[in-house]
Each structure stands twice: as C-alpha cells, then as structure tokens.
Amino acid sequence: MVDSIKILLCEDDRVMANVVKKYLDVRGYEITWCDNGNAGLKAFSKYRFDLCIFDVNMPYKDGYTLAQEIRNRDKYIPILFMSSNTLPKDKIKAFRIGADDYVAKPIDVEELLLRIEVIMKRQNSQPKVAEDNESKKTKIQIGKYLLDFPYQKLTIGEEERKLTTREAELLRFLYIHRNDLIKREFILQEVWGDDDYYKGRSLDVFMSRLRKYLKDDPGIEIINVHGIGFKFLIADEVEQKEGEEEGKGNGE
C-alpha cells in the first residue's frame, strides 16, 4: 500500500481518467482529477501534491503550458506526461520543460504504475535539506565566503569575484544540499535542465572552477564520489552536526 502519495491527474478524456484513477486508487494513491489545464493549475495552487500526471492535449490550457507554469512555481515536483503525441519532437519538448517521464497512449496501467513507482523512488532518494527557506535567500554565507545571488557576486574579505549565471546557480544548489551526497543526474536535471552526456562534461568543468574560487577557505571541500556524484562539505557545519549527534548518543 502506498503511504499517502498525492497525485494531480489532468486528463480531459473521462473514460481514460476513470480507468487510471480507479487503478491508482486501489493501490493507495490519492488522486485529484481535473479535466482541463486551468482547473489543474487551480488545484495545484490550492493543494499539496507529490506527483503530476498530465495529458498534452487539453482544453483551455494544454499540458505543456500547464507543466511550464507549475515548473515556474515548483522546480522539483515530478511531472509525467501521457499522450497520443508520440513523435520525438513532442517528447523532447516535454523533457525540455522538465518532465520526468513520457508515456504513450494507449496507456498500459500496469506500466504506468511501475513508472510512477520509479519516479517516486528516485524522488525520495534525493537529499532533503531545509530548502524552502534557503532557496529564497539572496545573500548566503558559505564558510568564509558571501554569495550575493541576485548580483552573482562571491566575496571573501575585500576580494570580490563576478560569477556567471550558471556558476551562481550551481554554487547555491550545492550549498542548499551541502554535506549530503548529491547524484550527478540530480544536479544536471535541476541546474541544467537535463542530464545528457555533454552537460555532464560541462558539470565537471564548472566544479573545477568552483574549487578554484573557494580555495581560500580550507573548510570548504567539493568531493567527487566516483560514478555517483559530489559532496559539498563545509567543515564547521560537519563538525557541529557530528558534535550534536555525539551529544545525543551520550545522553541516551
């Protein structure tokens, strides 16, 4: 049984929607169904969801537009498209918007369930940090450095460095997920928008740049975990966390 995973299903075909909804209901998912894109956006604004499933061709607001508007509000919620549009260009458009998966109609509900399970497993494996508050900060203290995100400036003492947009986005992302193992695919998907081979090579270049930019604080370290991803470590916070855990252990 699935533990209270809430899904927003936007599908204008009532028969298809009923089949999918009943199948997922039986397996413990909580389904909110909308038959058009406008209703879907209103539901997303009102309730909390763990996953979105969108048809592409819907009245009032198509699935692509709906997904883009939701991505502007929430960068991380998984989105799965199901559509009779099966041309490569349709799938590419969906993935560029930020889709996690794309299923062709007619839908095999068993396959759909397995794809949902894979998406949620991947989602739950990502590091969870108090991101909501920290992602809204405009100035972030990173060890001895100060990142002024809107102006893309990194300062330490009297020294100031102008960052590119991508460098600033990557550094803030690493800080939000600091002291955790961050998978390469997760970084590429969230910062670059996809995880293809060439973007992966670009990521390595950017990591090397950030290491150079942060070299004046020996307490900051970017570790490459071969074949998996990276760890962005800030020594003071690691020591503080270990001290707190040791204190809890002594108190038991």
Q: What CATH class is the domain 131-251?
A: mainly alpha
Dist. CA 222–CA 64, nearest whole Å:
36
Dist. CA 248–CA 25, nearest whole Å:
41
Residue 200: pLDDT band (50, 70, 90) is confident
Task: List pLDDT tens digits, range 162-197.
Answer: 998 889 989 999 999 998 889 888 888 888 876 666
**Average pLDDT over all residues of the chain:** 84
Q: Supply the pLDDT for residue 132.
A: 47
Dist. CA 86–CA 106, nearest whole Å:
11
Please determine, for residue 245, whether its predicted confidence score (pLDDT) is greater than 70.
no
The reply to whether omega before 59 is within 30° of 0 (cis) is no
Let me know if the fold of 6-124 is the same as that of 131-251. Answer: no
Dist. CA 205–CA 201, nearest whole Å:
7
Dist. CA 248–CA 16, nearest whole Å:
52
Is the CATH number of domain 6-124 3.40.50.2300? Answer: yes
Q: Taking each helix axis from N to C terminus, what angle separates 63-73 and 37-46, rounded to the nearest 10 degrees?
A: 20
Task: List pLDDT tens digits, range 13-54.
Answer: 999 999 999 999 998 899 999 999 999 999 988 888 889 999
Pairing of strands 6-10, 30-34: parallel
Q: Residue 145: which of 90, 206, 219, 202 has the closest Cα?
A: 219
Q: Label each residue of 90-135 as H, E or C.
A: HHHHHHHHCCCEEEECCCCHHHHHHHHHHHHHHHHCCCCCCHHHHC
Q: Supply the pLDDT for residue 241.
A: 47
Burial degree of 134 (CB within 10 A; 0-12, 13-18, 19+): middle
Q: Residue 56: which of 107, 117, 4 has the closest Cα?
A: 107
Domain ranges of the chain: 6-124, 131-251
Please determine, for residue 129, whether its predicted confidence score (pLDDT) is greater than 70.
no
